[in-house]
Amino acid sequence: MALEHGIYTREIDTAGFSMVSVDTAIPFIVGTAPINMKDTKNVNNVVFCNNLAEFTEAFGSSNNLMDYTLVQAAKVYFTLYGVGPVFMVNVLDPKKHASAVITEEVAVTDKKAVIETEGILQNTLKVTNKASSAELVKGTDYYVSYDEDGYVEIYLVNEADIKVEYKKLDPSKVTKEDIIGGVDPVTYDRKGLELIHEAFVKYRKTVGVVMAPGYSHLSDVIAVMETKTKNISGAFQAHAIIDCPADKKYKEIPEWKNSLNIVDEDIIGTYGLVRLGDEYYYQSLHLGALMASVDNKAGGVPSESPSNKNYKMDGLFIKTADGFEKINLDLTQANYLNENGIVTALNFVNGWTSWGNYNTCYPSRTDIKDSYVPVKRMFKWAANTLILSTWQFIDRKFTNVLRDSINMTVEDWLKTLTGNHLYDAKIELREESNSLTDMQKGKFTWHIDFSPILPFQAGVYELEYNLNDITNYYFK
């Protein structure tokens, strides 16, 4: 070692460290989008959208919210509730989900024609002169764009009557298998719900909620969604929000739920389609966006239940053979769904609100940790936070200094949550929880007491007539 003569400085690692802030309710939504308007290769790819402009740039736009479920999701999150960001996966593939060739004549006015059909794939469009049957050349004889309704506009260089041939997207051809996805055996590319494992890797953001509107009432889709809430990217946890079948009466829901064995602490079930104005929406999307809004108001901590918070809606509906039928659940009927582990919408004292605090495991499992939506979400959020915050120490020498640093920082973090989000909490590295065998493997286990505050679900006021008040009123 060289001789030191003079004044020197050196840096020492801080004893504590900062806990990582984890997003609580970023949704991972698998569905369909009008990608004919944008990049038709944007299929089975995780896209992270912070706002409506980014979504439109990636997927296009449409007024057809029921066929294009990702457009519906974008409207609910970005426009109605003003929350984000969102992970989006489009599974609508022009190579698989398109119509046969359609041929039709189109009226031309002032060298302009509009094909009033959504989903037209421009690369399949063929324009011919009706009189001569000669095929016109794009970029020379005509130009193409989309209008605000997603219709193709054709601008002709020379006035002429035309015929057109084209293929168009067909969302009805998307199946539950497309939503579920999997891993391609040849390319190993992920598809559908399987892409959830790429969200954090690509964007360094954790998924909070998993949804597949329009398909999440199907038993095998539900099963995969529930599986995907665990061990995301090998580490993280999330919740799934599903929609009960839109064509069932409320009394039929418990039997449907039990027959499909939907008794999971990782799933929130919703009943009823939400209407706002002339549009109908899957309630799962509204609940997901409402959860994000409530979390934001609580500083990003998911301790507050979304129940009895306002939905952006003006009616609750179910599907019928003739269209949609309005339903008006009273408090007793809504509570019947709640006691069977289903969230619905209720129009009562506060207007239209979400109504229900339980995950689908209720009432078959009543463990507070699993049955209450906000409690289970707090456990998942805490787990994700601990993983991201302490991952930096993996494979370091586990000295007493490092042990104390972890204990001190996590304990301080838990104290910031106590009182407003938790009843109490503490962390311990217990000797009895750490066997010599585990320690030889470099494995150490902390015990954390973690008690989220429960929702005020029911209040009781006992009213009694005190007869002594009569005498006291007159003679005292």
220: left (phi over 0), alpha (psi -120 to 50) or beta: alpha
**C-alpha pair distances (Å), 270 with each of 242, 267, 360:** 6, 10, 10
| Residue 171: predicted pLDDT | 96
- Count of CA atoms in the C-beta half-sphere (13 A) of 66: 11
Please check whether residue 167 is in contact with residue 102, taking contact to mean a CB–CB distance below 8 angstroms.
yes
| Residue 69: predicted pLDDT | 98
| Residue 173: predicted pLDDT | 96
425 token code pair:
């909490």
392 token code pair:
């930096």
User: Phi and psi at residue 438, in whole multiples of 5°?
Assistant: -65, -45
| Residue 1: predicted pLDDT | 56
| Residue 13: predicted pLDDT | 60
pTM for the model: 0.92
CA dihedral 175, 179, 182, 184 (to 10 degrees): 60
Radius of gyration in angstroms for the set of CA atoms belonging to the chain, rounded to a whole number: 28
Query: Domain limits of the chain?
Result: 27-93+178-374, 102-168, 401-476
| Residue 44: predicted pLDDT | 96
Going residue by residue through the chain (476 aa), what tens digit of pLDDT does each one get? Answer: 567 666 766 665 656 677 777 788 999 999 999 999 887 788 999 999 999 999 999 999 999 999 999 999 999 999 999 999 999 999 999 999 999 888 989 889 899 999 999 999 988 999 999 988 899 999 999 999 988 888 999 999 988 899 999 999 999 999 999 999 999 898 999 999 999 999 999 999 999 999 999 999 999 999 999 999 998 998 999 999 999 999 999 999 999 999 999 999 999 999 999 999 999 999 999 999 999 999 999 999 999 999 999 999 999 999 999 899 999 999 999 999 999 999 999 999 999 999 999 999 999 999 999 999 999 999 999 999 999 999 999 999 999 999 999 999 999 999 999 999 999 999 999 999 999 999 999 999 999 999 999 999 999 999 999 999 999 999 98
Please check whether residue 450 is in contact with residue 469, taking contact to mean a CB–CB distance below 8 angstroms.
no
The CATH number for 27-93+178-374, chosen from 3.40.50, 1.10.287, 3.30.559, 1.10.3470, is: 3.40.50
| Residue 11: predicted pLDDT | 61
